[in-house]
Amino acid sequence: MDIKRRLKHTRLWFWLLLGSSLLLAAFLLLYNPNYYKVALTGQQMETELTRTTTRIPGKNAMEVAIAVAQNSYPATFKDNKPGAVILVPADDWQAAVLAAEIIHFPINAPILYTEREVIPQDTLKELKRLDPEGNFQDGNVKVILIGNIGEGVKSQLKKEKLKFRDLTADKTEQLASLLDDYKAMIHANHDDEVIIVPKEDPASAILAASWVAHMGHSIFFVGKDSVSNETRKSLAKRPQDAFIYILGSEEVIPKKIAEELSQYGHVQRFPGKDAWELAVGFGSYIDFGRNFGWWVRRTPRMFGWGIGEAGHNFIFVNPKYPLQAVPAAVLSHMGKHGPFLLVKEDDIPDPVIRYLQTVQPNFTSSREQLFNHGWIIGQSINISSDVQQQIDKLLQVKGP
């Protein structure tokens, strides 16, 4: 046996291993990656800023929904991705309002729009960017289909290996009951607090979206003539009398409908004779008291934004474009939480002006100051730049 040759061979391996170990140690000691330097995936929408407002633009409802999702979910790390994504038909505002119920935790999902038989490329691209984690309570479902969506969309999701939940119903009232039961499965109960909105008045109905995105309560639609059997059955499922809040004037939800609803619990109507006043009334309204139990397992109830002072956020939407407004409800869940306020293309209604003047901040100190903020949803054709500037002035601090 050639000992010298074996020793030479051993020394060679020794130096190779030593050199590799030193290089690895140096790499581990000196490597300092910047985890916050992340390249943007996909084209970000432009945002128009003023001192106190941020515009989230979009040529149509589909683009607005994508822009809102990009604002709320950077999707650069696990903790800023959504749990799921909600897909709603791009022509069904009632389904969109109901879909807002499941934006809240534990699902944690933005709303995106789709055609009924095919997912548009921009929406599909955003869906891939969001890369949802999956809803653990529902078998790690990543996409939830709300409304009447066809097989073509489902085939696309299967092709992309995106597990989905299909919540489809023929009528709006049936869809509301289906969503109510779906949430009850996740939360192991039916909500005691429910919101009643009018089927024929989207300007009033969309106001519920920001609140349920914030709190996760259930929404039911009613007509002017009667309460549907599906809604009656859902209200009767509450373990005790429900707390029923009517979001609509007597013109769109008549008094007789409130009387019909009263057999299922305590009924209250938000103040306001039209949608403009209703938005302000909902923003300032709060109801609190005992919810369940007396001395044993007593739980409190608190419902409503109750905003009557400075230091809050508001989401400004034009009720002529309900499909643009509803996806912005996620800003009340993952953004600066706050209610919808309604404005016109070129005008701010008087009730909204008076309300903003009431909650406008006064100067206190440069180091201890309350501020207000407003999201402006849509392009200048939806809410003009002049209106944005007026809103900006109403939100600014009244200085010394």
Predicted confidence band at 297 (pLDDT cuts at 50, 70, 90)? Answer: low
Report pLDDT digits (tens) over 266-295.
999 999 999 999 999 999 998 877 665 555
Q: In whole angstroms, give the CA distance from residue 358 to residue 361.
A: 9
Report pLDDT digits (tens) over 188-215.
888 889 999 999 999 999 999 999 999 9
Predicted model pTM: 0.86
Q: Which of 99-103, 187-191, 318-322, 326-330 has the lowest mean pLDDT?
A: 187-191
Mean pLDDT of 307-321: 96
Higher pLDDT, 5 or 43: 5
The Cα angle at residue 121 between residues 116 and 126, in degrees rounded to 5: 100
> Quick check: 216 and 183 in contact, CB under 8 A?
yes
Exposed/middle/buried for 300, CB within 10 Å: 0-12, 13-18, 19+? exposed
The answer on pLDDT for 44 being more than 60 is: no
pLDDT at 25: 81
Predicted confidence band at 41 (pLDDT cuts at 50, 70, 90)? Answer: very low
Question: Nearest to residue 345, comparing CAs of 395, 380, 375?
Answer: 380
pLDDT at 40: 46
**Cβ within 8 Å of residue 177, ≥6 positions away:** 169, 220, 230, 231, 233, 234
Structure token pair of residue 359: 């909650």
pLDDT at 239: 81
Per domain, the residue ranges of the chain are: 48-394
Mean pLDDT of 350-357: 97
> Quick check: 163 and 139 in contact, CB under 8 A?
yes
Return the percentage of the chain with pLDDT > 90, whole number. Answer: 76
Mean pLDDT of 294-315: 81
The answer on pLDDT for 6 being more than 50 is: yes
Number of H helices, E strands in the chain: 14, 15
Mean pLDDT of 118-139: 95
Report pLDDT digits (tens) over 52-94.
999 999 999 999 999 999 999 999 998 899 999 999 999 999 9
